[in-house]
Amino acid sequence: MNTASDRRWRWLGAALLMCAALPAAAQDGRQARMQQHAQNVNNYVQWQQSQQASSYVYTEEDYIADQIARNIAVARNAQLRKDAKRDWWGSLVVNTEDGSWHVHLNDETKDDALTNAMKACKGVCYPIVTFANTCVAPAYSGQGGMFLGHGGSKQEAGAAANAACSAAGGDCKSPPEQAFCTGWKHGYKAAERFIQRVSLNVLGKVADPRFEPFPGAAEFIAKPLEKRGVSTGTAKDGRAVANMAQAWSAIAAGTAPKAYAIHLGVNERDARDTAAKQCGSGDCKVVAAFTLGQCAAVVRSRGKGSEVVQTFAGVARTLPEAEEAAVSDCVDSGARYCPLVFNNCM
């Protein structure tokens, strides 16, 4: 025979279970906790509709338990609304030594996602992309390159990755098990999202998808591992973690007016090779390569009515020194015009 005391303790047990089911910030086990919470709520609703509930006399402990349950529901609904509107940031980084990659999902800020992904990556690593509210998948070419795609589902992301890979030439494969997703749509099941919208706990449009590659990263991972070059880590200076690869910039130029390219690479070889490839002329060559703590200046000059362009470059510790070197070489060549087309520092 069920006594009032038995029912009271049963209800207190249900309240404690709902406490345990409050969504946590970590992504692991979220769906399991959501399912457990839904079951607890369903059990309570069924009990409230039963004959025992109609004759049950509430005690002080019951009122306390009710208040706890209401507080849990308020906190949970607030978390649901926040999760629906916020960006669920993720970041993918690659190990420059062996080509392995590491991903971190569902952080509240872009910086947190990048920092956590870099911490998980051992050795010298480089960020490839930050993203939010979308699915991402890799595709691998027969030549050893890696390409990324994104979309509203893992299947769409895989198709986009394969398309990017195929456009570069060669046979491509996108393993379905390597695709991953982040965002409200993927953190909560469709039934849960529907229930929360119907109950008006979640209103309005959810956050838009974001996909933000780092400069030079796509070109770097598209190369086979043996052609990517050797990267070194940066010193920890408050702007980057110590194991982040030190970036380089390279400038390539040819004698044609439009034969000119600048590329930010993951190391010196990567920057030089890619700049020369993107230059667009058969006689292109690298005229300057510089890294953190260095400056570069470039002068492009041609005679009146001539289609032949001469390029002069200088690399130094300060911008005035780099500009002086480039302009001086141009003047010494006998050119009448020596306009600066690039002057910047890393």
In the chain, what are the domain boundaries?
A: 4-85, 89-221, 247-345
- SS3 state of residue 297: strand
pLDDT at 161 > cutoff 70: yes
Reduce the DSSP state of residue 272 to 3 states and report it: helix
Instruction: Give 164-190 pLDDT, tens digit per residue.
Output: 999 998 789 999 999 999 987 776 665
Does 48 have pLDDT greater than 70? no
How confident is the model over 81-96, as pLDDT tens digits? 666 778 889 999 999 9
Say which range, 68-72, 164-168, 207-211, 236-240, has the weakest mean pLDDT.
236-240
Query: What is residue 342's DSSP assignment?
Result: E
3-state secondary structure 55-76: CCCCCHHHHHHHHHHHHHHHHH
Q: Which of 29-38, 237-246, 307-316 has the lowest mean pLDDT?
A: 29-38
Confidence of residue 53 (pLDDT cuts 50, 70, 90): low
**Tokens representing 8?**
């009271």
